[in-house]
Structure 1
Amino acid sequence: MKWVTYEAGAGARTGVLDGDAVRGLRAGIDLLTVVQSGAEVLAEAGETARRAPAEVRPLDDVRLLAPLPRPPSVRDGLCFLDHLRGCYRALGRSAELHPAWSEAPAFYFGNAASVVGPHDAVPVAPGSRMFDLELEVGVVIGRGGRDLHPAAAENHILGYTLFNDWTARDHQLHDLATGIGMGKSKDSALTLGPALVTVDELAEYRVDGRLAIELRATVNDQEITRGRLDQMDWTFGELLAYVSRGVDLAPGDVIGSGTVPGGCLLEHVDTPDLAEFTGWLRPGDVVSLHGQGLGSTRQTVVEGTGVIPLRPCSPKGQA
């Protein structure tokens, strides 16, 4: 099924996509709550939506929100190593990767409070002049667990959704200089949607046990990259196994694949000075992600808020 959260004038509702229509459950049912109630409850809710919906609305008459507007947690992996190599080249660094990248899939925690819907406007991160998109796929955990085995971890996935990890590259340079990981560069917006597509819906795209869906990203309807999900260097099973070491994954948790190679503007930088690159996102730009079986997002970048300056800090012991 393709689960959605939508707004039709009377608050957020949960439903399933059926062609060009949304078949809604009764008001007050939250998709995250249904997911957390288990597979049997989710299946029953899906049958109710199909056979006895509380309402049926044309898709054009509703506003799709993120399927999970506030997931319990968001993590983002980096499973396409050619994306990292492309970023290194843009930064003037050697594309040779440190051995750590082949020892375990890297990830960081995203901001679950910054999730936006598939057609929502996205403000430029405050103070950023180097705003970027990232073409990714997110998985949603359906059955919790910890210390998962790589060969079995994908059985804990409920479904998939498009995932855009909007990034302020100038802020990222500051984050990297501190050495403690991603901070404000990844904090302002994160797109999920248009739907949470359950595993069974994507069975036709399985090739040799891996999901081989085609993905692409466009800016102002100009394609910037095209790739396939099965080209990940680290599989979702391996990513989930690593992420779950010593910690619980919970139903509703969202975990991103990392960026498809070429799926961000940083990889297309053509100048030694990143600030001089003319391709960074600006207000009015329209960004779309597309995925076979997953649907499409389409969002307009808008002006961000100003920055309230901080006082200069003089570390103790220094003049």
Structure 2
Amino acid sequence: MIFPFKEQRAALSIVELGLDRARELELAEPVPETDVALKAPLQPTSIRDFVAFEEHVEGVRKSIDGSAGVPGAWYDAPTFYFTNPHRLYGPGDEIPFPAASVARDFELEVAAVAGPDETIFGYTIFNDFSARDLQSREMKVSLGPAKGKDFATSIGPWIVTADELDVHKDEDGFLDLWCVAEVNGAEVGRDLLGNMGWTFETMLAYAARDSAVRPGDLLGSGTVGNGGCLAELWGRNGRQDPPPLKDGDTVTLTVEGIGSLTNTVISGQTRPEIAPVRRRDHARARTERQL
């Protein structure tokens, strides 16, 4: 069943409602969608974003630092990073990019919502917006991404319960759902979610290893291949074609069985420059150690 939420709620409360409560809501008198403003359907306490598509890794690495191929370590385990749960946006929201960023990008993903006892409660569309110029600098330090990612993620418009999508699973447990990305109404990417390297169940189990995953936590699939983001295409084309996102551009992500998520790009507030680094005085450091 499709489980729409008209207000943000605490992550745990979504699981506590349960399927019985969801069915009650489904039977309630409907409200025309034109009469409501949909919010992000979840406010998770943590967001893990995986990188589960081999084709995406290959294209983006070439775009960001010129590297060729996929690193061998990618095949060992489903890698992820944590992103910012406090900058989560919903359908129709404007997405404020860092004002200084000129390499603005989207990422077409699906996210699983964790349920109790390391199960999957449901799925939603997930757009991991990316400032590629900021990300490129950060990755040279072999840490991050940080400011290239933590300014905005959008999800929605619905959470679809896992049982509703089971019919789309193949014999290995992968969800064969078509995913499509459009910028200003023009299609730029299309791929099957089933091209992931690992199932969501495997990624959840890996996230919980030697750690903890709580009900309501979000786990992003990582960006689909074949144009699931602009940077992948930049890497393959050898130039920024299609061009980076700019103010006023509208991004629509559509996933079979879940719906469509649309957001418009704007520039955020210009921030003061950070203070310059204080470089270490090696001669002084050696003198102080001798004393």
Write the distance in 2 (CA, Å) between the matches of 1:191 and 1:81. Answer: 23
Cα deviation for residue 214 of structure 1 reads 0.4
Write the distance in 2 (CA, Å) between the matches of 1:278 and 1:297. Answer: 20
Q: Match of 1:204, SS?
A: helix
Write the distance in 2 (CA, Å) between the matches of 1:3 and 1:228. Answer: 23
- Deviations 1:56-105 (CA, angstroms, capped at 9, x unpaired): 3101211111110x201100000001101011233463432222111111
Write the distance in 2 (CA, Å) between the matches of 1:83 and 1:119. Answer: 26
Kindly provide the amino acid, as one letter, of the partner of residue 83 in structure 2: G
Q: Is the 8 A contact 1:125 1:131 kept in 2?
A: no
Q: Could you tell me which residue of structure 1 aligns to residue 11 of structure 2? A: 32
Q: Is the 8 A contact 2:120 2:201 kept in 1?
A: no
Q: Match of 2:148, SS?
A: helix
Q: Could you tell me which residue of structure 1 aligns to residue 289 of structure 2? A: none
Q: Match of 2:268, SS?
A: coil
Q: Match of 1:218, SS?
A: strand
Q: Could you tell me which residue of structure 1 aligns to residue 116 of structure 2? A: 143
Cα deviation for residue 236 of structure 1 reads 1.6
Q: 1:202 aligns with which of 142, 158, 165?
A: 165
Q: Could you tell me which residue of structure 1 aligns to residue 146 of structure 2? A: 183
- Deviations 1:257-294 (CA, angstroms, capped at 9, x unpaired): 000012111122277676xx671000010100000111
- Deviations 1:178-212 (CA, angstroms, capped at 9, x unpaired): 22221101111101101000011113322223210
Q: Is the 8 A contact 2:233 2:242 kept in 1?
A: no
Q: Is the 8 A contact 2:65 2:136 kept in 1?
A: no
Pairing of 1:213-224 with structure 2 (within 5 A) = 213-224=177-188
- Deviations 1:4-36 (CA, angstroms, capped at 9, x unpaired): 222xxxxx37xxxxxxxxxxxxxxxx4634334
Q: Could you tell me which residue of structure 1 aligns to residue 286 of structure 2? A: none
Q: 1:166 aligns with which of 129, 136, 139?
A: 129
Q: Is the 8 A contact 1:4 1:66 kept in 2?
A: no
**How many percent identity over aligned positions?**
37
Q: 1:89 aligns with which of 40, 62, 85?
A: 62
TM-score by length of structure 2 reads 0.90
Asked if 1:44 is matched to 2:20, the reply is yes
Q: Is the 8 A contact 1:105 1:239 kept in 2?
A: yes
Q: Is the 8 A contact 1:31 1:67 kept in 2?
A: no
TM-score by length of structure 1 reads 0.82
Kindly provide the amino acid, as one letter, of the partner of residue 265 in structure 1: L
Q: Could you tell me which residue of structure 2 aligns to residue 56 of structure 1? A: 30
Q: In structure 1, list runs of 5 or more residues that go unmatched.
A: 7-11, 14-29, 146-155
Q: Could you tell me which residue of structure 1 aligns to residue 4 of structure 2? A: 4
- Deviations 1:128-176 (CA, angstroms, capped at 9, x unpaired): 111100000000001144xxxxxxxxxx001100000000001101210
Could you tell which deviates more after superposition, 55-64 or 218-227? 55-64
Write the distance in 2 (CA, Å) between the matches of 1:307 and 1:74. Answer: 26
Equivalent pairs counted in the alignment come to 280
Q: 2:91 aligns with which of 108, 118, 127?
A: 118
Write the distance in 2 (CA, Å) between the matches of 1:267 and 1:67. Answer: 29
Asked if 1:289 is matched to 2:253, the reply is yes
Write the distance in 1 (CA, Å) between the matches of 2:2 and 2:10. Answer: 12
Asked if 1:298 is matched to 2:272, the reply is no
Q: Match of 2:253, SS?
A: strand
Q: In structure 2, list runs of 5 or more residues that go unmatched.
A: 284-291
Write the distance in 2 (CA, Å) between the matches of 1:94 and 1:302. Answer: 31
Kindly provide the amino acid, as one letter, of the partner of residue 35 in structure 1: I
Q: Could you tell me which residue of structure 2 aligns to residue 99 of structure 1? A: 72
Write the distance in 1 (CA, Å) between the matches of 2:252 and 2:264. Answer: 9
Q: 1:309 aligns with which of 257, 273, 282?
A: 273
Write the distance in 2 (CA, Å) between the matches of 1:32 and 1:188. Answer: 21
Q: Match of 1:227, SS?
A: strand
Write the distance in 2 (CA, Å) between the matches of 1:303 and 1:182. Answer: 20
Kindly provide the amino acid, as one letter, of the partner of residue 147 in structure 2: K
Write the distance in 2 (CA, Å) between the matches of 1:165 and 1:49. Answer: 30
Q: Could you tell me which residue of structure 1 aligns to residue 44 of structure 2? A: 71
Q: Match of 1:269, SS?
A: helix
Q: Could you tell me which residue of structure 2 aligns to residue 22 of structure 1? A: none
Could you tell which deviates more after superposition, 257-266 or 303-312? 303-312
Write 1 or 2 for the structure with the bigger share of strand: 1
Write the distance in 2 (CA, Å) between the matches of 1:278 and 1:212. Answer: 27
